[in-house]
Structure 1
Amino acid sequence: MKFQYSLIAVSLALVGCGGGSGGGDATAPSYNVAGTISAKGTLLDTPVCIDLNQNFVCDATEPSTKSNNAGEFSITST
């Protein structure tokens, strides 16, 4: 579980606010997050998500994927 929390923390850092106080229409951010989970044990199908609401849970509405047997994953915005 430790690796999942650190992965979520990294995801939170990548989803930061765009900043600025200008008006206008807000657009959804685009991103491509890829990495490798490093942990003991089986890594196949380990859930990985972008925790948009910062509740440390992979909710059904958040972008997510599962790792391959080498622990590699990639999430791309749509």
Structure 2
Amino acid sequence: MNLKLILVLTLSVLAVLFIAQNVAIVEISFLVWQTSMSSALLIFFTLVTGVLLGWFLHANLQHHRVKAAA
């Protein structure tokens, strides 16, 4: 199997286990906005945001590399 795939699957399982064990309600404040949600949801949204941000930044970097090579 591909080492990258094994690493991603292992980290995904660990993230899911971590999220499942943190279900307490937390209050979130951002500037004037406030809400309460499960810490599991907060962790999940943070994880998804980080993955999407990394994916978009990687795509942007690849685009600039291809553009510079041409």
TM-score for the superposition, normalised by structure 2: 0.30
Name the larger-Rg structure: 2
Question: When you count helix as a share of all residues, which structure comes out higher?
Answer: 2
Higher relative contact order (CA closer than 8 Å, sequence separation 6+): 1
TM-score, normalising length from structure 1? 0.28
